[in-house]
Each structure stands twice: as C-alpha cells, then as structure tokens.
Amino acid sequence: MDYVYCVGFKENLKSELIFQDKLVKELALETGISRHTLDNYLNQRGHIPAADIAVKIAQNLGVSVEYLVTGDDHLPGTVPGGPEARALLRAFNQLNEKERKLALSIIQLFKNQGEHPAEKR
C-alpha cells in the first residue's frame, strides 16, 4: 500500500480522538481497521491512509475526510467551529422541537449577557 507523508492527518486524527474521548482500540473495533494500522497513522511518521480507510475513519468520527487531512472545517459537509461545534450540533440534532427551542433560548441568553457587560455587576 502506498502512503503519503502528512502531518495534518496525524494531528487532526489525534485531536479528534482526544476530543471524542475515544481510544485507538475502540476506533479499531468500530471500523475494522487494525490497531497496528491506526497506530501507524498516529506515529511520528504520520502516514495518511488510502482513501477507503480514511473514509471509514472519518465516518466513524463523524467528520469529513477533508477535515482529517487538512484540518479545515469550512469545507462542504463540515461544521465550522471545530470539534466543539460538531458536538453541539450532534447533541442539538438529538433534541425534540420543544427542547431545541429551549436550547436556542438559553444560547441567546448567554449571547445577550456578553453584549451588556454593565449588567453583569
């Protein structure tokens, strides 16, 4: 299998695993990719996987392959704002309509609080 050196993939994969609190062995079990192979993508040489493997990893983590390769979360199919924004979107999508309205109201309260510093006293 041919590999291309890419520090971005290694760092983005590490960051996403840490953010999602997912172990390499969990990713291996969930994707069917051997732990040894995943470790090779995360080691100092930081190889980027073949496209089919990258797709499996990205799908499992809920991110795009482009995000894993480039770190750019402004590409089509990704959520701007990084891992935290993706986590918020996933949680928001699991709410019912009433809960979504409440969540948006709470976010608006936080936003308004930041707009009126004198009222914080």
- On whether both 60 and 94 belong to a single domain, the answer is no
Long-range Cβ contacts of 70-79 (<8 Å, 24+ apart): 70/8, 70/12, 71/8, 71/11, 71/12
Contact 85, 36 (CB under 8 A): no
Handedness of CA 20, 77, 7, 52 (dihedral sign): positive
Query: What are the pLDDT digits (tens) for 99-112?
Result: 999 999 998 998 88
**How sure is the predictor about 92, in pLDDT bands with cuts at 50, 70 and 90?**
confident
pLDDT digits (tens, 9 = 90+) for 11-65: 889 988 988 889 999 999 999 999 999 999 998 776 789 999 999 999 999 888 8
Question: What number of other Cβ atoms are within 10 A of residue 115's Cβ?
Answer: 7
Let me know if residue 76 belongs to a domain. Answer: no
Question: Same domain for 90 and 55?
Answer: no
pTM: 0.60
Q: How many CB atoms lie within 10 A of CB 61?
A: 22
Q: What is the CATH number of the domain that holds 16?
A: 1.10.260.40
Do 63 and 108 sit in the same domain of this protein? no
Range of 12's domain? 4-70
